[in-house]
Amino acid sequence: MLSKLNSLLAQTDISLTDQQKQQLVDFVRLLDKWNKAYNLTSVRNPDEMLVKHIMDSLVVSPYLEGERFIDVGTGPGLPGIPLAITNPDKQFVLLDSLGKRITFIKNALRELGIQNVTPVLSRVEEYTEQQFDGILSRAFASLDDMVNWCYHLPNEQGKFYALKGVYDESEVQAIKKPIELTKVVKLEVPELVGERHLVILKKA
């Protein structure tokens, strides 16, 4: 699996240490192992997880600005855990409302020795403890829902980072809260079939 990860990384500008690569591979192994009992992801093949979960998360890394991030509806820790491994200088809160996912994340953090992640079991609209430089979401409902439920989370400079498939401009126009579109980035994920976009928004 390590050689597969290396060949995927070679198709990007992302450079990682041997330790980071090992952590990513070990994370996939844990995800694969726990998935059988916990049903954490519909992706069953570990090599496919490298593409659809790990690389799909990592390509966002160059666009993150700031030090404190929250991954809302993180599921089994995506994109939060791959991004935390890649950015040990940044702090991540991983939030999900399902206990079994947070249990998996806590175990993964312990086994992988990851220090810069705080797992939180909560609904996003009820989490009001701190504000962030970036709000991350992958496979979240709509942009309107994301902004609506997370509007209290960014600090003054904070941005929303939404990982989407096909970019639909009408989805941005449908957002009801005061918001401005900062950037839309077409992401290149090695060996992934289908489009991926990063939509970056901030409060207007």
- Annotated binding residues for S-adenosyl-L-methionine, as ranges? 73, 78, 124-125, 138
| Tokens describing residue 157 | 């400079």
Q: How far apart are the C-alpha atoms of 93 and 190, rounded to whole Å?
A: 27
What SS3 class is residue 161?
A: strand
H/E stretch holding 94:
strand 91-96
H/E stretch holding 24:
helix 18-38
* Residues of each annotated binding site: 73, 78, 124-125, 138
Q: How far apart are the C-alpha atoms of 177 and 174, rounded to whole Å?
A: 9
Question: CA-CA distances (angstroms) from residue 183 to 84, 121, 161, 197?
Answer: 23, 30, 10, 10
H/E stretch holding 27:
helix 18-38
In DSSP notation, 117-129 reads: EEEEES-GGG--S
HSE, side-chain direction, 13 A CA sphere, residue 84:
28
Q: How far apart are the C-alpha atoms of 132 and 172, rounded to whole Å?
A: 21
